[in-house]
Amino acid sequence: MTRFAAPIAEQIWDMKYRLKQADGTPIDLSVEDSWRRVARDLARVEQDPALWEDRFYAALEDFRFLPAGRILAGAGTGREVTLFNCFVMGTIPDSMEGIFQALKEAALTMQQGGGIGYDFSTIRPRGAAVHGVAADASGPLSFMDVWDAMCRTIMSAGSRRGAMMATMRCDHPDIEAFIEAKQDSARLRMFNLSVLVTDAFMQAVGEDAPWDLQFDGKVYHTIAARDLWNRIMRATYDYAEPGVIFIDRINQLNNLGYAETIAATNPCGEQPLPPYGACLLGSINLARLVEAPFTPEARLDLRALDELTRTAVRMMDNVVDASRFPLPQQAAEAQAKRRIGLGVTGLADALVMLGLRYGAPGAVAQTREWMHAIARAAYLASAELAREKGPFPLFQAEAFLASGFMQQMDEDVRDAIAAHGIRNALLTSIAPTGTISLYAGNVSSGIEPVFAHAYTRKVLQKDGSRSEEEVVDYAVALWREAHGDGLPTAFVDAQGLAPMDHVAMQAAAQEWVDSSISKTINCPADIGFQAFKDVYLAAWQLGCKGCTTYRPNDVTGSVLAVSEGSEAAPQPDRGADVVYLTEPLDRPAALEGATYKLKFPGSEHAIYITINDIVQAGHRRPFEVFINSKNMEHFAWTVALTRMISAVFRRGGDVSFVVEELKAVFDPRGGAWIEGRYVPSILAAIGGVIERHMIAIGFIEAEGKGLKSDPKAGARAVGERPGGPACPACGQYGMRMIEGCMTCPNCGHSECG
């Protein structure tokens, strides 16, 4: 009998978490071997390692406790790796030397696969005087471009990258440029962006008051606060970025407010961290703790939840001692505060097993109750650890107990901390669990609703063929096993929920989470702008620490649709499947076209690009490309590119994705500045030429935009890319935004590392 609830779970384990030799030969022969490896490694710092190894193994068994992927993959391997997922780097000094020292630290951290967060508010705005060199500052966004290029270079070296988060205060003079930065489809692709929103700003928005943009005590501009808020909202509505972080609330509620100031988060936002802060993650699988699911007696085993939480806290505290760190400053920060981020996954599945619809009042109340139980157990366990091993070094009882979060904590918990101290400064967080939720049998991810009750993925076989495999949500599979098809009304998915249902669930969980929550609030494509803004205001008013939304549209793309034919679920949208192309279009005897000369800096010879068009139904569309150069070093790849692009063009449909793919190619040797814009490679420059041609003939609307005609009109054209972009790891379509990160449902790949 396999331990895995679904084939995809075993594939994820084999691909991501199974220990293998360099040649691919498995060392972990079973998932039990992987659990034993992790349990043994995390128990070695205990006085009685054998005792705790067995207890840790029991927590891991049957996917009840899910340490973050870096722990599952790295613990007990003997390899020099960090077991921490994400980092916030040190404060960036406002000097050239300091900036590039910070860049070096970021590169060293990303080389080990860590995602990083940075606050760029500390860099003087564009146009500010640079004393001593008779020059004006280029501003923080110019240095963000440098960070972006660094991340691409680390990727090109074969390293597993993490994502990057950039934050900027809402009163920085360059905030408007920051808000609009990613509207350029080729810029800052390695970054997530979030605006640090203050209480004073939210008050000014409500009063329609003026708002000063300032740096180092100097006011550069004064604008209407409400206008700036509307610009943030409009960018998020149209482009899904930037996100919003309520930074004053984070600092006011921080247990360590007496010892640190937070100005950034890790890439997905669930861990607000100080300079050099590191985030250590793990999740309790609530779906595995439900007894008698789908019956009137259904309940979550609270005694098991309490015991599992206490064991998980001890395991994660041991990770602080077992892990390596990319930088000594990160190790010192982790040891001084011993932060951990214990969260949950499978919440939506657990709720539906109890007959509760995600977002309904009963589900909101139950979520609050479960998160309270976890917080109680975690804090009591950490206090007991402090009695046994000592509190974290920076613990100060009076200041700690006076913090905003601790003021609401149960009195017996406060008494235990007053008596013994506490081992971990912060304990709870809800992180993205896209990959580990698949590994655990496709349970619902984090505190998100079920995204798709079922969908079909294409699985590549050893002989090169592809077979279809249905991937079913864990709770749906349990229901089918007991009751057959036809889901009850409590089964809802992300697309069928009102945005305010999402907000209510996030706010309920946040009450008992001392760090923050990674969550995406799915909004329908046709939501009005005012209703969209109301989502953010509700998140602010209900006590959330941040807000991230996703609205499918022509810019951000659509999302994978569910395929469960129940009354509560939408009907199948096969757009997420691979589209197989039909025969190519016939070539007329004569075609109209244009030839463009491209001179790439550093290249001896120019490249000439000829694009010929065909006319269909009165509209021109690209049909073939010819790329020529006198540089013989370019010969092979220009011929290959000519043939491949022309083959795609001749199949019809929306071929504008060719532009996106070319413009995303970067050269590890460096790109070049062309007409005031950084172009990362010759191939990206060719993509830009093809894009400008498509705009000129009216095939696409504008730079970075899709088809000029309404893509919703009529059926999908042959060859048109399906809704939901292709995964860079497995190539299958259907990448979806979940917990603030584009994630592949087929292989578990996440853009956030």
CA–CA separation, 413 vs 372, rounded Å? 12
Q: What is the DSSP string of 247-316?
A: HHHHHHH-TTTTT----EE-TTSS-EE-TT-EE-EEEEEGGGGEESTTSTT-EE-HHHHHHHHHHHHHHH
Q: So what's the pLDDT on residue 465? A: 67
Question: Max alpha carbon distance in the chain (Å)?
Answer: 89
Instruction: State yes or no: pLDDT of 201 exceeds 50.
Output: yes
Q: So what's the pLDDT on residue 711? A: 36
Instruction: State yes or no: pLDDT of 710 exceeds 60.
Output: no
Between 46 and 150, whose confidence is greater?
Answer: 46
Q: So what's the pLDDT on residue 707? A: 57
Instruction: State yes or no: pLDDT of 158 exceeds 50.
Output: no
How far are the Cα atoms of 461, 578, 661, 726, 745 from residue 458, in angstroms, in the given order?
Answer: 9, 8, 22, 13, 11
Q: For residue 650, give the nearest of 618, 619, 625, 681 by alpha carbon.
A: 625
Q: So what's the pLDDT on residue 460? A: 64
Instruction: State yes or no: pLDDT of 232 exceeds 70.
Output: yes
Q: Where are the beta strands (DSSP E) in 35-125?
A: 65-67, 86-88, 115-119
Q: So what's the pLDDT on residue 211? A: 98
User: Residue 729 — pLDDT band, cuts 50, 70, 90?
Assistant: low
CA–CA separation, 708 vs 702, rounded Å? 8
User: Residue 237 — pLDDT band, cuts 50, 70, 90?
Assistant: very high
CA–CA separation, 563 vs 659, rounded Å? 31
Q: Residue with structure tokens 């065909």?
A: 614
Between 402 and 661, whose confidence is greater?
Answer: 402
Average pLDDT score over residue span 583-608? 80
Q: How many CA atoms lie within 13 A of 415 on its CB side?
A: 3
Average pLDDT score over residue span 685-710? 77
Average pLDDT score over residue span 296-321? 98
Q: Do 394 and 259 form a contact (C-beta atoms < 8 A)? A: yes
Which residues, 6+ apart, have CB-to-CB distance to 540 below 8 Å?
202, 246, 547
Average pLDDT score over residue span 425-453? 94
Which residues, 6+ apart, have CB-to-CB distance to 632 below 8 Å?
none
Q: So what's the pLDDT on residue 192? A: 92
Mean pLDDT, the chain, whole residue set: 87
Q: So what's the pLDDT on residue 180? A: 95
Instruction: State yes or no: pLDDT of 572 exceeds 70.
Output: no
Q: How far is CA 542 from the centre of its chain?
A: 23
Q: For residue 431, give the nearest of 268, 571, 541 by alpha carbon.
A: 268
Average pLDDT score over residue span 414-422? 98
Between 139 and 432, whose confidence is greater?
Answer: 139
Segment among 2-6, 141-145, 325-329 with least mean pLDDT:
2-6
Most confidently modeled range among 98-112, 650-664, 696-710: 98-112
User: Residue 276 — pLDDT band, cuts 50, 70, 90?
Assistant: very high
* Encoded tokens for 633: 């070093």
- For the question of residue 268 being annotated catalytic, the response is yes
Residues β-bridged to residue 223:
211
Q: What DSSP designation does 670 have?
A: -
Average pLDDT score over residue span 658-671? 79
Cα end-to-end distance, the chain, whole Å: 32
Q: Residue with structure tokens 């920051």?
A: 178
Q: For residue 72, give the nearest of 41, 51, 45 by alpha carbon.
A: 41
Q: So what's the pLDDT on residue 589? A: 75
CA dihedral 623, 625, 626, 632 (to 10 degrees): -150
Burial letters 677-702, b for 16+ CB under 10 A, else e: ebbbbbbbbbbbbbbebbbebebbee
3-state SS, residue 511:
coil
3-state SS, residue 403:
coil
Average pLDDT score over residue span 518-524? 93
* Encoded tokens for 144: 């963000």
Instruction: State yes or no: pLDDT of 632 exceeds 80.
Output: no
User: Residue 600 — pLDDT band, cuts 50, 70, 90?
Assistant: confident
Segment among 97-111, 353-367, 663-677, 710-724 with least mean pLDDT:
710-724
Instruction: State yes or no: pLDDT of 539 exceeds 60.
Output: yes
Average pLDDT score over residue span 642-660? 85
CA R_g for the chain? 26
Q: So what's the pLDDT on residue 412? A: 97
Instruction: State yes or no: pLDDT of 298 exceeds 60.
Output: yes
Q: Do 444 and 432 form a contact (C-beta atoms < 8 A)? A: no
Q: Do 14 and 20 form a contact (C-beta atoms < 8 A)? A: no
Burial letters 41-80, b for 16+ CB under 10 A, else e: bbbeebeebeebbebbbbbbbebbbbbbbbbbbbbbeeee
Sign (positive or negative) of CA dihedral 431, 435, 440, 442: positive
Average pLDDT score over residue span 131-135? 77
Q: So what's the pLDDT on residue 724? A: 62
Average pLDDT score over residue span 657-676? 79
* Encoded tokens for 192: 């997530």
CA–CA separation, 404 vs 412, rounded Å? 17
Segment among 51-60, 569-578, 639-648 with least mean pLDDT:
569-578
- The pTM for the full model equals 0.79
Catalytic residue among 53, 105, 241, 270: 270
Catalytic residue among 85, 192, 251, 266: 266
Catalytic residue among 170, 268, 544, 747: 268
For 444-486, how does the pLDDT look when each residue is reduced to its tens digit (9 = 90+)? 999 999 988 998 877 766 666 667 888 999 999 999 999 988 8
CA–CA separation, 549 vs 499, rounded Å? 9
Q: So what's the pLDDT on residue 494? A: 86
Q: So what's the pLDDT on residue 86? A: 83
- For the question of residue 583 being annotated catalytic, the response is no
Q: Residue with structure tokens 């992927």?
A: 69
Q: So what's the pLDDT on residue 716? A: 30
Q: So what's the pLDDT on residue 581? A: 43
Q: What is the DSSP string of 173-189?
A: TTHHHHHHGGGSTTS-T
Between 59 and 111, whose confidence is greater?
Answer: 59
- For the question of residue 266 being annotated catalytic, the response is yes
Q: So what's the pLDDT on residue 731? A: 54
Instruction: State yes or no: pLDDT of 110 exceeds 80.
Output: yes
